[in-house]
Chain A
Amino acid sequence: MEESLAAAAFYDLEGTLVSTNLVHTLGFYARNQQGLLRSIKKSAATVLSLPLFAVTDQYSRKVFNDLFFQRYKGETEDRLRYFSEELFEDVLKPAVYPGALELIDKSRRLGLRQVVVTGALDISVTPLMRYLGIEDYVANHLEFVNGEATGRLLPPMIAAATKASWMRSFAERECLSLSDSYAYSDSMSDLPMLSVVGHPAAVNPDMRLRQTALHHDWPILNLK
């Protein structure tokens, strides 16, 4: 008899398991610059960029990422790492949705591999992954030259369709069945990620994803 393959639960992170998004993280780093003046300047620039981020996010996640991660240009790697624990304690941990821990726990008890696929930065999410007990995760990596961020991401950029292709490769490598796997996301940009598994679900979805989920008869969860 053919042995059935193991499966996984793939999660988007921001907006899905935690209420924060990339901008909250950027805002945290902007507030924690060297010197008050620099902090004010960076924070103001972040606030002023919000409309632009919103528009580009609607247009293309790739364009959004190109623009967004430019804001990290000049940040030093050791500084980002130093503040990551504080970022976790002050921003990310309180933002974990009450139902997220439970969802992960239920999935884990089913023997599913727990995998986070996020467009956030690896530096900022590492403590959160430890807290959630998730060992398998993929995130974006900033490019550093001489210890300073260039404002570009190292390929492959994890967003939209690349999340799905990464999941396919991961499943192949780990001998996981995507048909028996689950995926959870809050955003329409993650439609490819949701589409490659047998059990997709929209979590706290935006309007467009809600409509899509209704159209495809996917479960709609509210973890808030």
Chain B
Amino acid sequence: MVSLIRCQPGRISSLHSQDKMALQLRRKTHESVLYIDTDSAPRIIPSGEDFILEDLPVGTRVIYPKPPIKGLPNREAAIRYALNHPHETEPLYAQLYPGMRVTIALDDISLPLPPMATPDIRQSVLEVLLDLMSANGVDDVHLIIANSLHRKMTEWEMKRMVGSRIFNEFYPDRYYNHDAEWDDGLVKLGETRHKEPLRVNRRAAESDLLIYVNINLVPMDGGHKSVAVGLCDYESLRAHHEPQTIRDSDSYMDPARSELNHKIERLGKLVDEHMNVFHIETAINNRMYKGEMDFLIKNEDDFSAFDRMKFEAMRLAMSKIPRAARRKILHSVPAQYEMIACHAGKTEPVHAKIVEKCFDQYAIPIKGQCDILITGIPDISPYNVYSVLNPLLVQVMALGYHFNFYRNKPLLKKGGVLILQHPCYDEFDHNFHPSYIEFFNRLLPETRDAVVLRDKYEREFATNPSYVEMYRRGNAYHGAHPFFMWYWGENGRQHVGKVIAAGAENAHVPAMLGWDRADNLTEAIAMARSYMGRSAEITMLHQPMIGIADME
């Protein structure tokens, strides 16, 4: 059995001093980057609801998240300051007058991940905003969750997000989810010069003022995406959520080189022409866990005896309970994010400030691409909150999110091997992901070509009356959503030479997704080396992490 306590001083001392120096130097490229040595501890790798320990080959580069930036000491004061000192517009209080119609749109449950400890930042912003509304005689206020084609949030989730007081006052008549399939509730704003249509929430569009409250977890979030995507309909979304746009985004985590972002900016200008938007954006640090779980984001070489004990205790306890219970437990642990910046005002200057802060937190300078990229897939994604990480979501996390966490050029060389660690179980949530099931079982056996899938089937799924009803009346993702998830992995799919699913408990899920499978990570690395050569450079993203590889 692999143990965390690994030290072989004899072997280290037998190394030539020159080799030792080389290793030492390699370790010091950045505080978040280290190289596996002969005396390194095994690494903790998430694999769905489990955490496994694996010895990595000597020389493997491991990338950790950056240390969290200290949170702002007084969240409410920072919010008030932002509202009173907005960018390129009047302070919010100066824009309010009695009798006006105000809509406040909020990011949905896909942000942040996992859901943060209460009070949620949105609650804090809303409390300040609603006091301000009340003081200025503004009564006609609606709160709309900008869920776009995501599933609608449940009553319990909505209450948790804004707190009981606001919930009791506004729900359900004045606090509700956006409905992208309610024709009467949508209004067309027009088209961009590239003929991209935009139809958005009518209440938001016809308000005297739309205030958007955002939480920015990654650089892809926020900005014009908030309104132009969060409050739009299917036809508007399909103009940019399509394979070629994703292929042309290098990466979609880098706004400057993201075709997706360029298209959304065009739509944003359309929004600004027709709507009065006051944008409030917040940036958070990356303190996903603290206390009992903080060892998950620490360097294993620096583990204390207590850290090892906590990990072993967790592993033992989790091994005794079924997967569904493990999932439930993990989903009940809230993230401990802290707000590190808040800006308000016009969308573009606000977003620029927040993205800058995001990169301060997430950008890790990395020199040199790798041949083999290893990433564990934890049970965390924007689309499986309180649900199952089904095979399509494993795909989007690996080839979409984890692959795209780079700036300038991919961390993995063109044609390299991506190894993901996940059981790849064939499990779907029937309430949240009904159309995913049909997509996976009916369409993927026919083709994995994103363009063919879009042309042949996307509209059929989008208009399937069953899926429309489940989206509108239930808590299902829109019928077209599994297609977007497939496109989301498109530039990863075009770039990698091979994907290996390590630890996959079956053969058919990896096969359906076009991947090889391996029983464990060691076998996967051997397979990858046989493909890329014995001298292949290996890099591992230490999950769970949010970090952008800032490639030199």
A residues with CB within 8 A of B = 9, 99, 102-103, 106-107, 109-110, 182, 184, 199, 201, 213-214, 217, 219-223
Contact = CB atoms under 8 A, between A and B. Distances in A.
A102 B470 CA distance: 12
A217 B466 contact: no
Given A199-B464, A217-B441, A223 B473 contact: yes
Nearest to B438: A217
Given A99-B473, A217-B438, 8 more contacts: A9-B465, A182-B466, A199-B466, A219-B470, A220-B430, A221-B466, A221-B473, A222-B474
B118 interface: no
A222 B430 contact: no
23 contacts: A9-B465, A99-B469, A102-B472, A103-B469, A106-B468, A106-B469, A107-B465, A109-B463, A199-B464, A213-B430, A214-B430, A217-B437, A219-B434, A219-B466, A219-B467, A219-B470, A220-B430, A220-B431, A220-B470, A221-B469, A221-B474, A222-B474, A223-B473
A2 to B, nearest CB: 15
B151 to A, nearest CB: 14
A219 to B, nearest CB: 4
A19 to B, nearest CB: 15
B465 A182 contact: yes
A178 to B, nearest CB: 16
Interface centre among A102, A182, A221 (most CB of B within 10 A): A221
A110 B430 contact: no
A106 B465 CA distance: 6
Contacts of A199: 464, 466
Q: At the interface, is chain A mostly helix, strand, loop or mixed?
A: mixed
B430 A223 contact: no
A106 B470 contact: no
Contact of B465 (A103, A213, A217, A220): A103
B355 to A, nearest CB: 39
B242 to A, nearest CB: 22
Nearest to A106: B465
A123 to B, nearest CB: 29
Contacts of A110: 463, 465
Question: 7 tightest A-B contacts by CB?
Answer: A219-B466, A106-B465, A201-B466, A217-B437, A219-B434, A107-B465, A221-B469
B231 to A, nearest CB: 21
Nearest to A110: B463
B486 interface: no
A184 B467 CA distance: 13
Contacts of B434: 219-220
Nearest to A198: B442
Contacts of B468: 106
A181 B468 CA distance: 16
Nearest to B431: A220
Interface in B462-491: 463-470, 472-474
Contacts of A99: 469, 472-473
A34 to B, nearest CB: 43
B175 interface: no
B428 interface: yes
Contacts of A223: 469, 473
Contacts of B431: 220
Interface in B266-319: none
Given A221-B469, A222-B474, A106 B438 contact: no
Contacts of B437: 217
Nearest to A221: B469
Nearest to B465: A106
Nearest to B435: A219
A221 B471 CA distance: 10
Interface in B417-437: 428, 430-431, 434, 437
Contacts of B463: 106, 109-110
Nearest to B463: A110
Contact of A217 (B428, B470, B472): B428
A144 to B, nearest CB: 37
Contacts of A9: 465
A214 B463 CA distance: 22
Interface in B83-103: none
Instruction: Output the residue of A9, A99, A107, A217 with the most chain B CB within 10 A.
Output: A217
Nearest to B476: A219
B184 to A, nearest CB: 11
A210 to B, nearest CB: 10
Which of A103, A109, A214 gathers most chain B CB within 10 Å?
A103
Contacts of A217: 428, 430, 437-438, 441
